[in-house]
Amino acid sequence: MTDRITTLGPNRRSVLMGGAALLATPAILRAQGTAIKFGTLTPLTGVGGTYGPSMRDAAVSVFDAVNAAGGLLGGSIEYVSEDTQTNPEAAVRAVRKLIDVDGVSVVLGTWASSVTTAVAPLCWENDVMLFCVSGADSITRLPHMGYIARTQPNSVLQIQVAGDFMLRQGSTGMAWIGPQTPFAQSSIDILAGQAEGAGIGMESLIYEADKSTYRSEVDTILRSNPDFIMLGGYAADSTVVLRDIWQAGYEGKIMGPAYAVNPSVLDALPDEVTEGVFTWEGAPAIGSTAYANVQAALGVDVVDPYSAQTYDHASLAVLAAAAAGDAGGSAIKNALRSISQGDGTEVSDALAGLEVLASGGSVNYSGASGPCDFDEIGDITGTQFLFNQILGGAPSMFERV
Amino acid sequence: MLDLLPQFLVNGIITGALLAIPTIGFTAIFAVLRFPNFAVASHATVGAFAGLVANVYWGLPAVPSLAFAFLIAGIVGLVSDEIALKPLRKHGALTTAIASIALTIVLENIIRFFFGNELRGYDLPLVRDTRFGDVRVNPQQLENLALAVVIMVLVFTALKYTRMGKAMRAVADNPGLADLKGIDAALVGRVVAFAGMGLVGIGGMLFGLGTSIDPLTGFRFILPIFAAAVVGGLGSIPGAVLGAMIVGVGEEMSALVLEPAYKSAVGFLAIVLVLTFRPSGLLGERAY
């Protein structure tokens, strides 16, 4: 009698079949793999957490709209969203994952200048296009070979415009108070130059972010008796500084960037503290199709400047890929200016642009944040600025320049 | 700049008194449970948001809101300790301390999930500062200072005269001997986890009263709290008050000689100096 020995382990046939299946799998995936991968890298948490979620949603609304209308280059757009935590170290880990694991060709939406500065080298070394909303002028001076485009006016331009405004309003003694950021010192230098040109005094103080009180800092800055104070921080610290300045009995003028004196700050502070404070920002294209699209996507009446910009990032990436016939980072980089500026048909959303491109035309995209024209180093040009004044706890338009 | 010295001193004393409350909570937990519980960051935030719910949503005044902040932060402290930290204590203080950092991130994000990232302010009337000569003080600050002093007195009274207070000091000083005397160390641990984190929650709300709050509120205090506890002597409750005063006054006075951007260096410097010259802290490790 012969005993049959049965084995429960893998036999030769099953191993061969399994192996063949495994080998075949990547081919199957490749056959479906016309998907295009874009990444959003916004501050979902941390200081920028007020903006990050809506920035991501604005960008995603473009990808969803394009996918719903038939996709891009014969495939669909896959998007991956990561969180910078408004922290350069966390952002570097996140962008490594986007590039190495997800294989994205575009990263869009970096907010804090320190974060953009940290992730930019990883992007250009890996042929990944980076769209950012950061203001520090040092960013576009990096050797990025064209892989950075920013839709936010750089800090030099922003501060010059604001300094001119302070002088126009008759300031006889300026002050700048803000946290340590990549644009703090350059802001002070620009303002000091303008003050010197106008023959007036200028005092500055760089404080440490993330403190619960700035009373001593406010005491220090008020020693010079300024009549116009510029805030240089973000929303959380500006709330504290505004309150401390008001409690100190200061009666002069104050101005801060719109991202710092934003709706959540206005909600958190009593109206009398913010009454009369000026804000300024790159003027969004209110009334454009793109702006209306972002309003609808986010379900808001007033679109914050960053969500408007990430909507444009996504649209620019889509149109550049369509114009190049290739969704790789290098192709998008090379095609960017062919769809963002020039003599093409003026379009204000990605779907309209795709139609024009499909019919063999060329496009000039102007989006929710403005004209979206870039100079040779990736800085935005032709931005208009909107000055608002806070009256009764809400921004009211003061002037547009 | 020296003309600002009295003002900086006053600012420092007020900051120090507020800092003392969460530091007492932190150091009491260290004294009894023998690990640095870095989850104080998120518990300060929990307290600040609990106070916000009581004050803004329910319309309660500041003092009942503070009591609610104490209660909720204490309950969260007790429950999270039982679930996340207690099972790890047998693996050593370092393991538990690292777990407490993870816990603080989890709690912070739970708050973010419910309340979002927006800044929020308490519904309290804001008034301008009152001037006494060259020094200005805000009535809200004086009220906060008074509250801080009252809370400190209550804590010291409870520790000195109540049965549980004495039991806590006994377990902190010599757990073995306390056990021999029949003191239930597990119960004392639970009471300390509750009361310690409750105090931290009050601290979070007291800081928020002067500013505004968001999910990162507590995270901003972790360094000064830790520095104050180390300076005073980890585990020493009077040391926590002394350490908080030194760090609070030191940070404000540093503006006389340092750029304000380096304020936090004072906390680190205090830790380095104390660990170099008096490793057990200024008042040593005795709980009381």
Q: What is the ipTM of this complex?
A: 0.84
As given in the structure block, the two tokens for residue A8 are: 């429960």
Chain A residue with minimum CA distance to B109:
A45
A270/B121 touch (CB, cutoff 8 Å), yes or no? yes
B112/A212 touch (CB, cutoff 8 Å), yes or no? no
Domain-wise residue ranges, chain A? 36-154+286-381, 155-281+384-400
Q: What is the model's pLDDT at position A22?
A: 44
**Pick from A28-37, A170-179, A229-238, B52-61: least confident:** A28-37
Per-residue model confidence as pLDDT tens digits over A273-299: 999 999 998 888 888 999 999 999 999
Q: What is the model's pLDDT at position B199?
A: 96
Specify the fold of A155-281+384-400: Rossmann fold (3.40.50)
- What is the torsion angle, in degrees rounded to the nearest 10, for the CA atoms of residue A241, residue B45, residue A49 and residue B267? 60
Per-residue model confidence as pLDDT tens digits over A216-234: 999 999 999 999 999 999 8
Q: What is the model's pLDDT at position B287?
A: 61
Per-residue model confidence as pLDDT tens digits over B214-262: 888 898 889 899 999 999 999 899 999 999 999 999 999 988 888 888 8
A216/B216 touch (CB, cutoff 8 Å), yes or no? no
Q: What is the model's pLDDT at position A16?
A: 46
Q: Answer whether residue A5 shows pLDDT above 80.
A: no
Q: What is the model's pLDDT at position B272?
A: 92
Per-residue model confidence as pLDDT tens digits over B62-73: 999 999 999 999
Chain A residue with minimum CA distance to B7:
A216
Provide the strand spans (E) within A96-223.
106-110, 129-132, 148-150, 173-179, 201-207
Chain B contact present for A251, CB below 8 A: no
Q: Rounded to whole angstroms, how far apart are CA atoms A141 and A58?
A: 28
Chain B contact present for A275, CB below 8 A: no
Chain B contact present for A256, CB below 8 A: no
Q: Answer whether residue A96 shows pLDDT above 90.
A: yes
Q: Answer whether residue A335 shows pLDDT above 60.
A: yes
Per-residue model confidence as pLDDT tens digits over A15-28: 444 444 444 444 43
**DSSP code at position B124:** -
B216/A46 touch (CB, cutoff 8 Å), yes or no? yes
Mean pLDDT for A68-94 is 93
Has domain A36-154+286-381 been given CATH number 3.90.190.20? no
* Of the candidates B249, B277, B273, the residue with the CA atom closest to the CA atom of residue B263: B249
CA distance B101 to chain A (A): 16
Chain B contact present for A208, CB below 8 A: yes
Mean pLDDT for B267-284 is 88
Q: Rounded to whole angstroms, how far apart are CA atoms A304 and A333?
A: 26
Residue B125 confidence class, pLDDT cut points 50, 70, 90: confident
Q: What is the model's pLDDT at position A308?
A: 94
Are A36-154+286-381 and A155-281+384-400 in the same CATH fold?
yes
Per-residue model confidence as pLDDT tens digits over B97-119: 999 999 999 999 999 999 987 78
Chain B contact present for A204, CB below 8 A: no
Q: Answer whether residue B77 shows pLDDT above 70.
A: yes
Q: What is the model's pLDDT at position A136?
A: 87
Q: What is the model's pLDDT at position A311?
A: 97
**DSSP code at position B86:** G
Q: What is the mean pLDDT of chain A?
A: 89
B12 compared with A28, residue with greater pLDDT: B12
Q: What is the model's pLDDT at position A27?
A: 40
Mean pLDDT for A81-98 is 94
Using a CB-CB distance cutoff of 8 angstroms, which residues of chain A are in contact with residue B119? 50, 235-236, 239, 264-265, 267-268
Per-residue model confidence as pLDDT tens digits over B247-256: 999 999 988 8
Q: Rounded to whole angstroms, how far apart are CA atoms B86 and B88?
A: 5
